[in-house]
Structure 1
């Protein structure tokens, strides 16, 4: 008799149960590739323990999404088939990520206006992943929508992505654990067991509001301390620039899904450091990749954080040229990095979250639900809006010149 499930030991969730149809997806070459894509790209150069991958994060997201689905199933909102769909969609939510995760997406956005969600849908529909889904008796078209927040069932989308998502709960806990950062404490079990549904949207029991507040603050702190750390971004700026410069030569932003699913962190970095320097762009790409590998990172000489109002739109190329001209340094030695994120996670619709639905019950009466604006949650309101960070980087030998020019052009240094 074939065993119907496996237990995988995990440092965050202790044990993750994986069922037969999920095992077949996990064992596919397309999914196994996620083992070779780091969750936090260049963060390991600052936090040496941050070697974890998209693979284990995907398992963890499936685990939390499954727990959330069970809670809602017990409350009568889902059936067994819905729970299986939610688990499978959560497992596949990151399958479209390219090498170096979100860094590659920055190159994709510039070159093709594509996102990992767009590619993820294609992977589910056009590769062996879709064949496995179909063979297991599930609808690959529906799962491709649900995995990326596009299904017609809003509260099911919200289990996977958004302000109460399994994705965020797992990545905060996992990233905090592997970086050693103490900010990412999330009482996810309290949140999960307090989930409900109101007007086809995910809601939270009022008694768990403090856990939601704590999670939002943890996320904000992780962006400041880890994801947007100036040295982490220094390494990542080098990788982004190297991939962009070498794209024409290496075909990194290919539309060919079969080629795309072969690309991993190590494959791309090895291609970059092995480039034949036939022209200036390829020579610069190779140099940046080698210096990234050797941790000879760019230096941050200017930093400014914008919350409200947002950073005004600016022409990065013009700014780069202006700083280079004033500092009398070649423009290729001036790197401008603009990091942006909403302080509160976007809803699955990709719109900024303005409120949370709370559910409350008094005595024996029926449950009541109401929408609470984010502006009325003091701690969360204080960090709401966007975190935009403008930084200027250069090599060590040009540090003083570029620092002085950036301070004159952009205003006083806010580091």
Structure 2
């Protein structure tokens, strides 16, 4: 166990007791970490899965815990020392301090408006807030910790450490699979992450999983993630809540400066409740009125309805690549609104921004495995080359949807047929 002198413990419903040292205690009690208590991990999912009310704070503690387990594995293999292991725990604890209100929903707006990600803001908060001072007082480099917790370390060991923190098999991913499935009440996320960690090694500078010993648990891990995306993250009603919050924040941004976070004080002042209150207090017409109405509808669970779906194949579908551009989506929303005689502010095209299956050959970051050779060496392989199951998912699908007010479903559905065209890939859901 890495924690020799415990400063405290927290009973977590997923991992059991999570212990922390004095440095970690100070960081946990800081304003940036405590703010994460007021940001839901799965914004909007609670309207479909009422148990999914867990916070970014609890997730951060879980990632710290699993980072410690992975660090112990790396120490056992001789890749890092105790100091490096403790830094990995700090990185796990701090990796989400840059999340805005409603988590990834805000990040979509932030990227569209400012070109920033939550990792950019995490690095900024670690360096410029009280967290940086706390780290410096304890002998840590705030810049190094900021780079590590965002997967941007440039040291000789940076490649595999960045993969440990921010890769496809990171403690972050492990915890959200376990935690999100637990609180949503779905059973398929209970993967043996301890077995997965024990199957890992560093081969040719990259994190890889032992073959064949670790193949079964790796397949279970990737399939569990896919099931979560299908059943929870990309659920039609969950996404309705997400797009309403996203569009409300996007429209309110010009009045409230929600994405103007060069001064981190603005970011640290925002959480789910404060931003909802700010939007509900907007006055006037135009998009301020639309933003306010969308939040009010969200609060009363009067959600937009999916009226059109398009199944897209990531990697070779021109529709998917075009619709990832916000300007293209807005132009099509206006075209659909005009065709349906509906205010385009109430026509929203939803495109997944995260890969549901992280094994696509064109993605450039395939999960790796290794096997020991007869001469004592180790051969690196892509998981899609040794797993027929995962290889069959390489050409995976995601769903693009169009949402609108319930009273406009039929008109918007008909307009979508004309704008997108009829075809086997498309399905109207009125």
TM-score by structure 2 length? 0.90
What secondary structure does 1:132 align onto? Answer: helix
Instruction: Report how far residue 375 of structure 1 moved.
Output: 4.4
The 8 Å contact of residues 92 and 147 in structure 1, kept in 2 or not, is answered as yes
Q: In structure 2, do the counterparts of structure 1 residues 233 and 102 end up closer, same or farther at CA, with 3 Å as the change threshold?
A: same
Instruction: Report how far residue 385 of structure 1 moved.
Output: 4.9
Instruction: Report how far residue 31 of structure 1 moved.
Output: 0.8
Q: Which moved more, 1:140-149 or 1:324-333?
A: 324-333
Please name the residue that 1:122 is paired with.
Answer: 124
Is 1:379 matched up with 2:389? Answer: yes
Please name the residue that 2:370 is paired with.
Answer: 358
Cα RMSD (Å): 2.0
Is 1:401 matched up with 2:411? Answer: yes
Please name the residue that 2:168 is paired with.
Answer: 163
Query: How many residues in Structure 1 have an aligned counterpart in Structure 2?
Result: 409
Please name the residue that 2:341 is paired with.
Answer: 328
Deviations 1:165-222 (A, max 9, x none): 1110000000000001122121101011111111221121210111111111111111
Please name the residue that 1:103 is paired with.
Answer: 105
Instruction: Report how far residue 27 of structure 1 moved.
Output: 0.4
Instruction: Report how far residue 334 of structure 1 moved.
Output: 1.5
Instruction: Report how far residue 361 of structure 1 moved.
Output: 7.0
CA distance in 1, matches of 2:352, 2:207: 29
The 8 Å contact of residues 359 and 366 in structure 2, kept in 1 or not, is answered as no
Instruction: Report how far residue 267 of structure 1 moved.
Output: 0.5
Instruction: Report how far residue 113 of structure 1 moved.
Output: 0.3
The 8 Å contact of residues 220 and 383 in structure 1, kept in 2 or not, is answered as no
Q: In structure 2, do the counterparts of structure 1 residues 327 and 221 end up closer, same or farther at CA, with 3 Å as the change threshold?
A: same
CA distance in 1, matches of 2:371, 2:95: 28
Is 1:268 matched up with 2:281? Answer: no
Please name the residue that 2:229 is paired with.
Answer: 223
CA distance in 2, matches of 1:385, 1:179: 28
CA distance in 2, matches of 1:283, 1:136: 49
Please name the residue that 2:96 is paired with.
Answer: 94
What secondary structure does 1:49 align onto? Answer: coil
What secondary structure does 1:329 align onto? Answer: coil
Is 1:204 matched up with 2:179? Answer: no
Instruction: Report how far residue 346 of structure 1 moved.
Output: 8.6
Instruction: Report how far residue 129 of structure 1 moved.
Output: 0.3
The 8 Å contact of residues 340 and 388 in structure 1, kept in 2 or not, is answered as no
Please name the residue that 2:78 is paired with.
Answer: 76
Runs ≥4 residues deviating over 4 A: none
Unaligned runs of 5+ in 2: none
CA distance in 1, matches of 2:270, 2:359: 28
Instruction: Report how far residue 74 of structure 1 moved.
Output: 1.3
The 8 Å contact of residues 159 and 165 in structure 1, kept in 2 or not, is answered as yes
The 8 Å contact of residues 41 and 54 in structure 2, kept in 1 or not, is answered as yes
Unaligned runs of 5+ in 1: none
Please name the residue that 2:263 is paired with.
Answer: 256
What secondary structure does 1:318 align onto? Answer: helix
